[in-house]
Amino acid sequence: QSVLTQPPSVSAAPGQKVTISCSGSSSNIGNNFVSWYQHFPGAAPKLLIYDNYKRPSGIPDRFSGSKSGTSATLGITGLLTGDEADYYCGTWDSRLNVVVFGGGTKLTVL
């Protein structure tokens, strides 16, 4: 059971927009920055979003992040079939002094 809660799966058509939620608590999301990762099977996870909404160099602006209270959201616009992957949220938990991840969300682009 993951500390952060994500929907197991989301789907949308090519060109559409999708959002993935990540719910936590005051000790993690509520008081720390959230990151998002994209993970293709057999590959290394890639950092998509850090500090709630910032994008590392090379990440297209189709990917966006936001945070409100103890929840965070990843948004992906202009969906491509190549976006089909697993997406994870992560942050620090100040009460436990550990890194926590969500259970992952499988994105299907229909």
Closer of 15 and 60 to other proteins (Cβ): 60
DSSP string for residues in 18-29: EEEEEE--TTTG
Closer of 99 and 110 to other proteins (Cβ): 99
Q: Supply the minimum distance, in Å, between the C-beta of residue 71 and other proteins.
A: 14
Binding site for other proteins (CB under 8 A): 2, 31-35, 37, 39, 43-47, 50-52, 56, 88, 90-92, 94, 96-104
Q: Supply the minimum distance, in Å, between the C-beta of residue 23 and other proteins.
A: 15
Q: Supply the minimum distance, in Å, between the C-beta of residue 33 and other proteins.
A: 3
- Region for residue 92 given its phi and psi (left: phi exceeds 0; alpha: psi -120 to 50; beta: otherwise): beta
Q: Supply the minimum distance, in Å, between the C-beta of residue 9 and other proteins.
A: 13
How far apart CA 30 and CA 25 sit, in angstroms, is 6
Closer of 3 and 109 to other proteins (Cβ): 3
How far apart CA 50 and CA 68 sit, in angstroms, is 15
CB atoms within 10 A of CB 14: 12
